[in-house]
Amino acid sequence: MTDVVRLDAVSKVYGRGQGAVAALREVSVAIPRGSFTAVMGPSGSGKSTFLHCAAGLDVPSSGSVRLGGTELTGMDETRLTELRRQRVGFVFQAFNLVPSLTVVENVVLPLRLAGARVDQAWLGEVVSRVGLDGRTGHLPAQLSGGQQQRVAIARALVTRPEVVFGDEPTGALDTMTARDVLTLLREIVDGMGQTVVMVTHDPLAASYADTVLYLADGRVVDAMTAPTADRVAERMTRLGAWV
Ligand SMILES: Nc1ncnc2c1ncn2[C@@H]1O[C@H](COP(=O)(O)OP(=O)(O)OP(=O)(O)O)[C@@H](O)[C@H]1O
């Protein structure tokens, strides 16, 4: 399997001098194409910083980030924005849908922003895959939280990105709805060959991934394959995440 995302010796320091905080310290990670990765760790361990650096939303202080073979280091903000629009999908805890736009208008928004043509067949497949057939004319406020997150996932998929990043994508959902959304994320990996990288605090959410990366104090301290919720929770306890 080829790597879609590669971080080599990535460090990120916020601030300067006495107040400087090392959020990432020499992190090296390779994410294989078509895999589902969960990123866990105690609060403040660097999970969001990792996601932001990997997705080109933030610039590392040192080290290299590659997305599908493209080196992000040294790119200016215009090129990074273009790269994010075309090659990266995002799913956030708060869904981030535009309230005045219908489901289908929200889904195609990244294409409109990029001035790209809408491939109607692909749009139909994406909407159907996420289970929103029959809802395309609704406004976000007319949908449940789980349905709104499905719209966000469809929006993330519509550009055929190389990787979809999730920042606590099930954090705002009840347990049953979260399971449905996690099953959907699993399906887009297994059925569409998509690559998904998700930050989560929830061991059950992490158990849907192929690999769980553990961050502590800005470093990757462990990786677990074939995770179960119990093993993930046990590992997190040993990291001191819940004490
Ligand atoms: N913009 C910033 N300016 C200064 N320090 C920051 C900034 N962003 C993050 N940090 C610091 O970097 C460290 C890592 O933060 P980060 O948000 O990546 O952790 P996290 O694991 O995602 O935490 P949480 O689980 O609480 O969301 C923390 O000590 C945080 O206070």
Per-residue model confidence as pLDDT tens digits over 102-134: 999 999 999 998 889 999 999 999 999 999 999
Q: How confident is the model at residue 152, as a pLDDT?
A: 95
Reply yes or no on whether the pLDDT at 86 is more than 70: yes
Mean local confidence (pLDDT), 221-239 = 93
Q: Is 133 in the pocket of ligand 1 (CB under 6 A)?
A: no
The H or E element containing residue 206 is helix 203-206
Q: How confident is the model at residue 1, as a pLDDT?
A: 58
Q: How confident is the model at residue 243, as a pLDDT?
A: 46
The CATH number of the domain covering residues in 3-238: 3.40.50.300
Measured at the CA of 46, the angle between CA 70 and CA 78, to 5 degrees, comes to 35
- Report how far ligand 1's centroid is from the alpha carbon of 95 (Å): 21
Q: How confident is the model at residue 239, as a pLDDT?
A: 83
Contacts of 220-228 with C-beta under 8 Å, sequence gap 24+, read 220/27, 220/28, 220/29, 227/38
Q: Is 14 in the pocket of ligand 1 (CB under 6 A)?
A: yes
CB 215 within 8 A of CB 46: yes
Q: What is the pLDDT of residues 207-228, one digit of tens each?
A: 999 999 999 999 999 999 999 9
Reply yes or no on whether the pLDDT at 29 is more than 50: yes
CB 135 within 8 A of CB 147: yes
**pTM for the structure as a whole:** 0.94
> Which ipTM score applies to this complex?
0.96
Mean local confidence (pLDDT), 160-173 = 94
User: Helices 145-157 and 175-190: crossing angle, nearest 10°?
Assistant: 20
Q: Would you list the domain boundaries of the chain?
A: 3-238
Q: Is 21 in the pocket of ligand 1 (CB under 6 A)?
A: yes
Q: Is 47 in the pocket of ligand 1 (CB under 6 A)?
A: yes
Regarding predicted confidence, which is higher, 1 or 243?
1
Q: How confident is the model at residue 21, as a pLDDT?
A: 94
